[in-house]
Amino acid sequence: MVKNEHGMVTAETAVVIPTLLFITCLLAGMLWIQTAHAQTNETAQFIARSMSQGDSKAQAMRRVGESSRGLKVRVREASGTVSVHVSRRVTVPSLPRLAVTVQGNASAVRE
């Protein structure tokens, strides 16, 4: 057994706590990105549904409301179908230097 083991717990804790904190921030960031991705998909579905019922792109965007900030929306109409592609740049609060672009796609048949 080593005679001088004083301070070993402190040294181990000094390594473990920052590692756990980093992993927690990383997992929270992944959850944040997944939530943003789900919201972007829902927005694409809403716009596609709204446009398939006769709304213009501007009307559909107004119906989306505040959550349409920062969205890039592309609409394609072909043979009675409306296809919507939505993308948004998302910055993760727990990892401020990490910014990701999330995308959502949806299609709907014109009514």
Would you kindly state where each structural domain of the chain is located, as residue ranges?
8-109
Q: What confidence score (pLDDT) does residue 3 get?
A: 61
CB atoms within 10 A of CB 93: 11
- Rounded-to-integer distance, Cα 15 and Cα 29, Å: 22
- Rounded-to-integer distance, Cα 68 and Cα 23, Å: 31
Positive or negative: CA dihedral 8, 9, 14, 15: positive
Q: What confidence score (pLDDT) does residue 66 get?
A: 79
Q: What confidence score (pLDDT) does residue 2 get?
A: 55
CA–CA distance from 28 to each of 32, 33, 41, 82, 108 (Å)?
6, 9, 20, 35, 33
Q: What confidence score (pLDDT) does residue 35 get?
A: 93
Q: Give tens-digit pLDDT for 32-44.
A: 999 999 999 999 9
Q: Give tens-digit pLDDT for 50-96.
A: 999 999 988 998 888 877 788 899 999 988 899 999 999 998 887 77
Q: What confidence score (pLDDT) does residue 82 get?
A: 95
